[in-house]
Each structure stands twice: as structure tokens, then as C-alpha cells.
Amino acid sequence: MIRRKQWLMGVLLAGIALTGPATPASANFQVQFSYNGATVTVDGTTHSVSVSGGASISGATIDTSANGVISISRLTVSNNGTTGGFTISSNFAESNMPGTPNVASIDMSSFSIKNGTGVAGSSTLTIITGDTGFIAPQKANATLLSTMTAVAGAANTSAASVTFNSYLDNTNAQFGITGAGIQATPTINLSNITANTSKSGNQSADVDASQTPYSLTQVARFTLANGDRFLDGDSGTSVMAPAPSGWLLACSGVPFLGLTYLRRRRQFQLTV
């Protein structure tokens, strides 16, 4: 069942409402899907798609027409073309690059994933989302927030799992996850997600976002048994500036700085 997930995002709404857009910076917003050597990379900035390892986009609908949004429908990631792989549908990824004085963010939303590999046991699909060119918030004492929720299908035969990591790269590299300048949150591990259940988690880390431009990257690994699926899920990676003292006072007594950000959902159902 499609569920709404609440992200505890501090003063995100207030930061967007009270501040104007930052000056544009050079960006490259991408989502990359990989399984068993097959890779599909969608570039929302250049409006292009590249494939390798025998992958194909035949039969898929990929929309990058909206600025900062990548939508995917019925994309099968397989080294056998459009058979024997993972099938993904989603209003998939968003970026608010170049950021606002209070928040920079990338996310995935309403994703639906099915393991149609035909391989006995479990297989893993990796999805990497990233954008470069963030120039705000520009703070030495910022917070990197990482969130993930996944909902298992009612007919799943085995427990599923997800691992999720968020990264800030002060060198502004595309998909910057290793090397100098990398700052990261601890890994989110969602394990033993049984049929018709969901799990969620969040992690945070203190980061230095004073060196701009910087890039944000999130890496999600979805492990499912053959024939099983995730019906729905969301993830997010955000750099947040410290909350003004007035907001902390006003929001005291409510968890995580007191404001709950209800994620905008645009839903896809996957039927195969």
C-alpha cells in the first residue's frame, strides 16, 4: 500500500519560504542504475541517457523536461537488455541545486522496484543520485541529514533489505563518495523487511559546507528475492544550516527542531 512518509527536516519549509533562490552554479544532476554489470545513467542537466554492460532503455519512459526532476517509468536494468533484470518506476529524483541559505537537497520519491532477474535467491540493485554546484547553505557548522523508507510488497516471499548512504564532497565531484573532501553520514541499514511491511531510518552528521561549490550524492542498494518488489519508498539527502535561536524556541517540545516536512508524493504503480 502506498504510504506517506514524514521527513523530520527541521526548518526546511521555513528556509525555503523566507529566502529567495541562490545564484545559479554549474550543475550536473544524474541518477545511475546498476545491476550485474549493466548500467543506465540519466543526466537531467544535459537531458541524455547513457548505457553500458548490455543495458537497454527499450520500453522505458524517461522524462527530464522539468528542471531539477528526473522521472522514470518501466525501466528494466539488465545485462540482457530488457529481460531478466530489475524494473523501476518512479517520479524519481529531485534536486534544489544551487540550494537556499537554509537547505540543499537531493531525493528519490515514490519509487517502485521489482526483481525480475530470474536468479535464484536475492539480487541487489544499486541506485546512485547526485548533483554538483551547490553554493548554499554555505556554513562551517552545517548538518548532513540522511533518510530512507522502503515498503515491501504483500506477495513477497522473502525478507528484503536496503542500505543507504549520503555524502557531501567539498571538491564538487560528480558522485563524490571517496577521497579528499568527502563527508558522510553513517550507513542506514534497513534489514528483514518482510511482506507488506515497511521500515525507515535516518542518520545525521556535522559537516563543514563552507567551501563551495560542493556536490551531494546518495547511494541506495536494494536487495530483493527473485519476483519480489518494493511497492513504494523515499529517500533524501540534505545539508541544513543551523536553526535560528527563535525557531528553536518556538519549536521546542516537538521532535527534531519541531517541524515535520510532509514529503510531496507523486505516485506510480508498477504492474508487471
Residue 157 amino acid letter: T
Q: How far apart are CA 172 and CA 74, in angstroms?
A: 31
Residue 25, pLDDT above cutoff 80: no
Question: Is the CB of residue 121 less than 8 Å from the CB of residue 84?
Answer: no
Q: Taking residues 99-119, report their average pLDDT.
A: 95
246 vs 185, residue with greater confidence:
185
pLDDT of 20: 39
Kind and range of the H or E run holding 93: strand 86-95
Q: Quote the DSSP letter at residue 132.
A: E
Percent of the chain predicted with pLDDT > 90? 75
pLDDT of 182: 97
Angle 36-38-39 from CA coordinates, rounded to 5°: 125
Residues in the chain: 272
pLDDT of 272: 30
Q: Across the chain, what does the average pLDDT equal?
A: 84
Which tens digits make up the pLDDT trace of 162-219?
Answer: 999 999 999 999 999 999 899 999 999 999 999 999 999 999 999 999 999 999 999 9
**Residue showing cell 515535520:** 260
Q: Cell triple for residue 234? A: 523515499
Q: How far apart are CA 237 and CA 203, in angstroms?
A: 10
Q: How far apart are CA 144 and CA 134, in angstroms?
A: 13
Extract the runs of DSSP E, i.e. beta strands, from 159-242: 160-169, 182-184, 188-193, 198-207, 214-225, 229-240
The domains of the chain are located at: 6-262
Question: Is the CB of residue 125 less than 8 Å from the CB of residue 79?
Answer: no
Q: How far apart are CA 60 and CA 187, in angstroms?
A: 31
Residue 59, pLDDT above cutoff 80: yes
Low-confidence winner among 38-42, 134-138, 257-261 (lowest mean pLDDT) = 257-261
Q: How far is CA 198 from CA 90, 109, 129, 173, in A?
A: 18, 15, 22, 33
Regarding pTM above 0.85, the answer is no
Q: How far apart are CA 185 and CA 200, in angstroms?
A: 15
Question: Is the CB of residue 188 less than 8 Å from the CB of residue 165?
Answer: yes
